[in-house]
């Protein structure tokens, strides 16, 4: 096993670089420190990019105090080095801050989240091996998921899922999980998202028994485990639209694995609640009805969706609409 060590500059771009392998361990610069032609690089310095409003929000909601921020990061780093000396992980400030914010600066819970984050990668190599934009291009081209280019009024970016687009005979369910995970890795990079969290909008139009029954309880449990216990992101709301009659059966498969707080998040925006109106995708736009009793009405009207992402060339543009 490798000793835990600060990330190298190349590793700090792990979420953006096309050729990065999320299963690979971080480079230990100390291993090359003895060679004058390859000196150990200094650890990247953290620079806060939050607005004064978000600094205040982070203080109120996450117990993040700017004057103690780096002290808290160092405390988590010391815990990792002392309690998990063989953990192969990044130790730079920006990376560790994600876990502290996701667990409201509770050191123990942040450390456990970090351990879950890495344990999930080891336990599910089919998802994390060779995970890069080009390997999920077919999922993105299909329109299974996308991210709205603008946040909602609370500053939360919206991850849109359309499981009805997936045909089980075309490719395995695990490819959808790979695309979701890679999208989350991209979304969590900005500090704004770490503070504000995200919203999930799931459109179940076209979902039938083939999609509902294919993952099964085993895969459903692994996906839920990643989302609620194994990734440093705050899922603030889950809105479900156009749910089919079999949705109760779908949710029954997932619910046993949800924590109470997460189980209360899904909100069904069904046709009856919307006075006979419904969301509809037409081409590359989400057509919204009026009146619509939902805060996203004013935000989303006429906003284009990006259903095709080009992975060739510059992979940094993948999911860069936010």
Q: What's residue 76's pLDDT?
A: 98
Q: Are residues 227 and 87 in the same domain?
A: no
Q: Are residues 147 and 106 in the same domain?
A: no
Q: Where does a domain end: 73, 90, 123?
A: 123
Of 218 and 35, which is predicted with more confidence?
A: 218
Q: Where does a domain end: 123, 138, 172?
A: 123
Q: Is 183 helix (H, G, I), strand (E, B) or coil?
A: helix
Q: Which two tokens stand for residue 36?
A: 């004058």
Q: Where does a domain end: 103, 123, 143?
A: 123
Question: What backbone phi and psi angles, to 5 degrees, belong to 123?
Answer: -80, -20
Can you point out the beta strands (E) in 184-284?
198-203, 235-241, 266-269, 280-282
Q: Are residues 113 and 166 in the same domain?
A: no
Q: What is the pTM of this model?
A: 0.70
Q: Say if 4 falls within a structural domain.
A: no
How much is the average pLDDT of 278-300?
A: 38
> How many structural domains comprise the chain?
2
- The CATH number given to whatever domain includes residue 113 is 1.10.8.20
In this predicted model, what pLDDT tens digit does every residue of 13-56 receive, in sequence order? 334 434 333 443 443 433 333 333 444 455 568 899 999 999 99
Q: Say if 322 falls within a structural domain.
A: no
How much is the average pLDDT of 218-232?
A: 77
Q: Are residues 149 and 270 in the same domain?
A: yes
- The CATH number given to whatever domain includes residue 243 is 3.40.525.10
Domain range for 223 is 128-317
Q: Say if 2 falls within a structural domain.
A: no
Provide Rg for the chain, Cα atoms: 20
């Amino acid at each position: 096993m490798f000793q835990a060590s600060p990330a190298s500059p190349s590793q700090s771009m792990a979420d953006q670089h096309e050729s990065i392998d999320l299963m690979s361990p971080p480079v230990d610069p100390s291993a090359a420190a003895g060679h004058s032609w390859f000196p150990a690089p200094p650890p990247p310095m953290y620079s806060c990019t939050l607005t004064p409003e978000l600094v205040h929000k982070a203080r109120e909601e996450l117990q993040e105090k700017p004057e103690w921020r780096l002290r808290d990061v160092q405390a988590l780093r010391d815990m990792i080095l002392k309690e998990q000396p063989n953990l192969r992980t990044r130790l730079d400030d920006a990376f560790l801050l994600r876990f502290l914010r996701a667990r409201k600066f509770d050191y123990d819970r942040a450390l456990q989240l970090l351990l879950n984050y890495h344990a999930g990668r080891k336990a599910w190599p089919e998802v994390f091996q060779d995970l890069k934009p080009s390997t999920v291009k077919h999922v993105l081209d299909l329109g299974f998921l996308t991210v709205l280019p603008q946040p909602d009024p609370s500053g939360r970016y919206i991850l849109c899922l359309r499981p009805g687009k997936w045909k089980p005979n075309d490719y395995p369910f695990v490819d959808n999980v790979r695309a979701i995970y890679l999208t989350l890795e991209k979304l969590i990079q900005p500090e704004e998202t770490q503070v504000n969290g995200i919203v999930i909008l799931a459109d179940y139009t076209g979902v039938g028994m083939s999609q509902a029954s294919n993952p099964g309880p085993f895969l459903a449990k692994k996906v839920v485990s990643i989302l609620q216990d194994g990734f440093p992101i705050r899922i603030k709301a889950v809105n479900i639209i156009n749910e089919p009659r079999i949705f109760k059966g779908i949710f029954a498969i997932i619910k046993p694995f949800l924590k109470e707080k997460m189980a209360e998040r899904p909100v069904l925006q069904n046709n009856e609640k919307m006075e006979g109106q419904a969301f509809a995708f037409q081409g590359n736009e989400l057509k919204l009805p009026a009146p619509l009793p939902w805060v996203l009405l004013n935000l989303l009207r006429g906003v284009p969706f990006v259903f095709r992402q080009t992975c060739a060339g510059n992979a940094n543009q993948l999911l860069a609409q936010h």
